[in-house]
Each structure stands twice: as structure tokens, then as C-alpha cells.
Structure 1
Amino acid sequence: MKVRIKEVAAAAGVSAATVSKVLSGRAAYAVQAETAQRVRRVALELGYVPDVAARHLRTRQTGQLGVVLEAVGPSEPDRLLGGLASPSAVRRTFDGAIMAGLSDAARQWQVPALVVYPGGGRPQSYLDGRVDGLLVSCDPLRGHHLLSELAQLPLPVVALWTEAVPPGISTVDVDHQGGARLAAEHLLALGHTRIAFYGGGQASGVEHFQRREAGYRQAIEAAGIVPRRAIHQGDVLVEAVRRGDVSAVFAETDLGAAAVVQALTQAGLRVPDDVSLVGFDDILGAEYIAGGLTTVYQPAAEMAAQGVRVLLDRLNGAAVTRSLVPAHLILRRSTLAFGVGL
């Protein structure tokens, strides 16, 4: 026979309203810790199971959050990979970090369930009554048409991995510009003044790569140095190194850094003895690039967790916000002080 809330209340020596407050899991309800602990213990002993469906009818909320994984590509366009790494492996790593961050945050904030929708669905399909709000992990290489459509719906939305969102949608992204600035500042602190940016950067049309070049330029200009034009061809970079125009490289991605290593190695040049190198992303396997790639860690899991917090705040009436999660530099073996090994 199903245990009722009145039976739990009687066994715990409290009112049915108190039991409801405790077992709802809502922090806004003030119940003494000792009382709350006793109610939970009694409910467990009696085998009480909350009537979730009835609660949803009363509150018109499920407590569940929806997830759409639009970011299904690596952080470098396929045409630029050049067979250096498996795009599917990079994809699984990034999406895995996103899901880990979402799951950890859901556990911490007592979200009953995350409903994962397949990407590419019709916007109206997210109004199926299963979720109170939506987290969208965006793909900066594909644009954000879905966000524009979602902005027209009566559903709180938080976009992950982008700052380019329409009005009404909150966003949480990695601080790409700040992370790139850290990379360039590291090379400057080692005495390098002839630092090249390797990648599409501003010309790529990809917001993250544009912000990474902007961070590089910000650091270089702050040091009183005129930034160089971005390089995205291995042979061009090799010639610049041989002329003595470049002693260090900041690659906009770790995969780009792997391409730099390949081009330099084929030309008989070594990292870091001939050229210091810093990447961005800290992808799985970055510790094997150039014997250990110094790179900027992209906090995908932390970004996703912050997104859950922002969405819960939105559901509690908070205003639309935009936030950036700081990146940090991971030092390995691909950089040397200027003059060492040259």
C-alpha cells in the first residue's frame, strides 16, 4: 500500500505541510535542520515516494531542464584539420565535458532530471511540457539560427559556448579573449617579442577564433609591440622562422598547434628549441603534442555547470545575464625563454 504524506507526518511528529516543505527540496522553505533530518529519515524508513505528477499539476513546473547539444563539431573546422586528429574524438571529448558539467550541477542543485533533445529539432518541440527551461550548447561554426527561433518562445533559454545571442537569452561562454591574452603574456614574459598568431583569427568568421586573436593582439600591443598578421599556412610560418622573424607561436587551437609542430618538424625545426609554442583548448592528448603542449585550458564542464545555475536563477525571476568563465594556462614543455636553445 502506498505510504501517504500524512503517515510520514504522524511518524515524524510534524505537520503534513512541514513534510511537504522538507521533501520538496526547495531551499526557500525554512525548516530546522534537525526537523528536516528527522522527516527525511522517517520518509525513507516508511518507503514514502512523492507524487511528482501531482506536484507538477499544482506548480505547473516539472523541475526538469532541457538540453540541446548543437556544438557537435571540434573547435577547428574539418577542412583545417588536415588528418592530424579525429574530429569524432574531439567531439566526444567536448560533449563529454559539457554533459559532465551539466550532470554535476544538476546533482548539486537537486534538478530532478535533464531531458536531452536531439539537435536540429523544431523549436516548438521544446514546448512539450517536459522542461521548465532550456540549455543550448551552441556550435560557433554553424551559426545560431536555433537561438533566434527560441527567443520567440515563452521558455527561458541559456546559451552555452557563445556570446552572440539575441535579446532575451542568457549566455555563458569561456573567456576566449582573456585566455588568449594569458598565452601571449606567457610568451612575452619568457622574453619573446617576435610572436606569431597561427590560425584563421579575425578572418575566420568564427567568434571564438576572432576573440582569441583579439586577446593575442591586446597583450602584444600592451607590451608596445606591433602585432603581426595571422598566419595559417605551415610553409609561410617556416619561412618566417628561418628569416628570424618569429621565435614563438600562439596557435588558436591545440589542433592548430599540432599542425605547427608537423610543419616545423618536416622543415628540420624543433619545438621548443627553435620555436616556443602555446595552444588553446587543452584537448585530450595535448600532453603528447611537442612532448607536452603548453596550452590554455578551456573550462567546458565549468561553463556548463554555470549555465545550469544561470538557468535556475532565470526560473526564479532573475534578469537575463551574460557571463564568462575564466580560462587558465597549463604549463608543459613546449616553451622556453628566448635565447635558450636557439
Structure 2
Amino acid sequence: MTTARSAEVGKRGTSRTCNAGHPAGKIRLIDIADETGFSLATVSKVVNGRADVAEETRTIVNAALEKHGYVKRGNVDDRQQLIEVVFQDFDTLWALEVLRGVLDEAKQHNLSVVTTESGDRQHPDSSWVDALLKRRPIGAILIFSDLTTIEKEKLESQHIPYVIFDPSGDPTESKYSVQADNWTGGVIATRHLLALGHTKIAIINGPDEMMCSRARFDGYCAALKEHGIVPPDHYITEGDYTTPGGYAQAVELLALPDRPTAIFAGSDLQAMGVYEAARQLGLRIPEDVSVVGFDDVQTSAYLGPALTTVRQPLQEMAACATRLVLDASEHNLEQKHIILPTNLVVRNSTQAVANQEN
């Protein structure tokens, strides 16, 4: 990569100062090319987010663009009046709750909403970003984390702000993010069960690589530690935030010789899987096993029995993410990471424990 850059410098000759002869705000791509030593074609590729550019080249050119505050002509005025929401998948009640929040807020600003579904649990296929750039939305809400360097640079080179919603990784790696207080949610769910006299409390957590899962698990452990309880390893299971995943883990937990008297499911969808496992095993909720979920999706109140759960304000979070996109598109905000509170919604899936041997 270094050799290729040196060759281009040789072709162009000595670099000139980018500002030479041009008033502030009138920086041209030819000036960036002169300063960096790359060809005008190469600089143009970086500005337009083309993939056929070496990473070292892209980094150098972007640094020069940022240094001089270069803004691509028309990259603000020609934006479409829409917000794009990029989902990893769109087949869950959780996703519908998020979309409802975005739609309600966007409507108040006379904006349209486009949804994209692509990729896997952690990250969409990279083709989504090129399609998004062609649509030129005001901004994007990304329901995943860990953008690649190229994806970040493509969005930033076109000055399209994006918000990471419920980030699976470190939210500080993006400029804007919105999430719920997952640690507190784990604490209050477990404390509720402890207050009912349960000490045999199992957990069906989400994927361990996701930050929200780790936070909920840490909250669960912290609450148990307050009572001097260390759960056995076989009480700690990992699901995938889906109903089949919750079902599979619950079948194993409920078949244990020292069956737990309560299960904290890391999502309402996993809690629904616990309900089905209990039904098939002839166990009653909450008489034989208490269940607490997480999210408070709309249907959780209509399960039989109605599900006790930690409310994650999904629609409010989505509305907040939408407002953050709009603010960022208009005012170039500083970094902003928003954490909204969680609270316990007590319904009928939990009750005081029957006599148990500790």
C-alpha cells in the first residue's frame, strides 16, 4: 500500500497546501488530492464511499477531508424526507414495537420511514449501506452494532447521521446510541423473585457476546449476591432471545432433579418458550415455577397467566432515536449516548414460593 501511494505522489509532484488560493468553505477535491498526493480519481472514490480503495489510502484522504471541513456539494439539500431503519431481522414482536415507535415520531415530522432487513443476528450484509446511500435519507437507525470501518466511512463521507439502537457492542464506538438500563432491569427482576422467597432462580440469558445480555446477567448476579446466593452453573443458560431458544433451555432447566422454582428469561419471547415447556411437562405457572420476562412487548399482558416482566420502553427508545437522528442532521451534535430507565411490571406469572429445600 505504501508503494502505491508513493507512485501516485511521484506522478503529481510536490503537494501543495489545501487552502492555497481558495477562500474558506471552497475546498475542492483537487486540493485534497494535491495535499495527500493521491490522484483526483482516488479522492473521489473515497468521498463517494467506493469499496475499491485501500484502507490506508481511505484513512489518509478522510483525515484531510475532515481537517478542512470538506462537504460534498448537494449532500444535504438533496436528501429525501425519510428515515431508514435497518433491522437484522423483522420477524419478531420486538421489532414491531421498535418500528411503531419510529413511525409515530416520524409522522409528527412529516417524514416517511423505509425499513431494511438483511444479514444475521449481529450484523447485516454490507450491501445495505450502498442501497441506503442511493436513497439519501435524512439519517438511519441501525438495529445492530459493530459497523465495519468501510460502512462508517461511507455514511460519514455522505454526512448521513446514524443512531445505534440497543447496541450489542460498546456504544461509545458510535457517535449516537439509545439503549435501556439493562443492568437495573436484571437487578429488579431478580429482587422481585427473591422477595417472594425464591432462592432457586435460574436464568435464560441472551447471547453472551451482546452487551445487553451481559448487563442483564450481571444484574441478576448482583441481586443474588445481596442474599449470599451463588447459582449453580446449570441454572445459568444462554438463549438467543427467541421463543424456540427459550423453550429449548426451559425444557432442560425444568427437567433438573433440583428444578428451579423461578426462571428469569432475558426476553419476553424466551419467556413464551418457558410457558410452552412448562405446559408440555405438566407444570403450572406460577404454582410450580414463577417466570419473569424482559421487554414488555404488547402481547405479554395477554399470556395465560399474564407475564410479569421488566419493561424496556421500546417505543419510547425508538422515538428518542428518531429525534436524535433529526437533531444530528440539523445541528451536528456532539457525541450523545442515551440510556432510558427500565421498571418492573408485576402481573400473574410470579407468586410466593412454596416450601423448598435450600
Give the alignment's TM-score, normalised by structure 1: 0.65
Question: Gaps (5+ residues) in structure 2?
Answer: 1-72, 119-126, 239-248
**Alignment match of 1:237 (pick from 221, 238, 253):** 253
Report what 1:225 is aligned to.
229
Letter of the 1:160 counterpart: F
Q: Give the superposed CA RMSD.
A: 3.3
TM-fit CA distance, 1:135: 2.0
- 2:88 and 2:117 in contact (8 A); partners too: no
Task: State the distance in 1 between where 2:251 and 2:231 align.
Answer: 20
Change (3 A) 1:197 1:57: closer
**Alignment match of 1:160 (pick from 165, 190, 194):** 165
TM-fit CA distance, 1:306: 0.7
**Alignment match of 1:171 (pick from 164, 177, 185):** 177
Report what 1:197 is aligned to.
203
Q: Give % identity.
A: 31
Task: State the distance in 2 between where 1:68 and 1:192 align.
Answer: 41
- 1:161 and 1:173 in contact (8 A); partners too: yes
Report what 2:218 is aligned to.
214
Task: State the distance in 2 between where 1:58 and 1:163 align.
Answer: 30
Report what 1:188 is aligned to.
194
- 1:150 and 1:157 in contact (8 A); partners too: no
Task: State the distance in 1 between where 2:231 and 2:355 align.
Answer: 23
Change (3 A) 1:163 1:236: closer
Structure 2 residue 337 is the aligned partner of structure 1 residue 339: no
**Alignment match of 1:312 (pick from 303, 317, 326):** 326
Letter of the 2:102 counterpart: L
Change (3 A) 1:94 1:199: closer
Structure 2 residue 328 is the aligned partner of structure 1 residue 324: no
Question: Gaps (5+ residues) in structure 1?
Answer: 1-55, 74-87
TM-fit CA distance, 1:324: 1.7
Q: Greater relative contact order (Cα 8 A, min sep 6): structure 1 or 2?
A: 1
- 1:172 and 1:322 in contact (8 A); partners too: yes
- 1:221 and 1:227 in contact (8 A); partners too: no
Letter of the 1:323 counterpart: I
Structure 2 residue 316 is the aligned partner of structure 1 residue 302: yes
Report what 2:242 is aligned to.
none
Structure 1 residue matching 2:237: 3-state secondary structure: coil
Letter of the 2:217 counterpart: E
Report what 2:114 is aligned to.
116
Structure 2 residue matching 1:308: 3-state secondary structure: helix
Task: State the distance in 2 between where 1:136 and 1:201 align.
Answer: 19
Structure 1 residue matching 2:173: 3-state secondary structure: coil
TM-fit CA distance, 1:175: 2.5
Task: State the distance in 2 between where 1:341 and 1:224 align.
Answer: 17
Task: State the distance in 2 between where 1:148 and 1:216 align.
Answer: 37
Report what 1:23 is aligned to.
none
Structure 2 residue 283 is the aligned partner of structure 1 residue 285: no
- 1:123 and 1:146 in contact (8 A); partners too: no
- 2:172 and 2:337 in contact (8 A); partners too: no
- 2:84 and 2:137 in contact (8 A); partners too: no
Structure 2 residue 70 is the aligned partner of structure 1 residue 64: no
> Aligned residue pairs: how many?
260
Change (3 A) 1:215 1:201: farther
Change (3 A) 1:159 1:168: closer
Report what 1:95 is aligned to.
95
Task: State the distance in 2 between where 1:119 and 1:239 align.
Answer: 37
**Alignment match of 1:150 (pick from 145, 149, 152):** 152
Structure 2 residue matching 1:231: 3-state secondary structure: strand
- 2:80 and 2:135 in contact (8 A); partners too: no
- 2:180 and 2:340 in contact (8 A); partners too: yes
Structure 2 residue 275 is the aligned partner of structure 1 residue 261: yes
Report what 2:59 is aligned to.
none
TM-fit CA distance, 1:320: 1.4
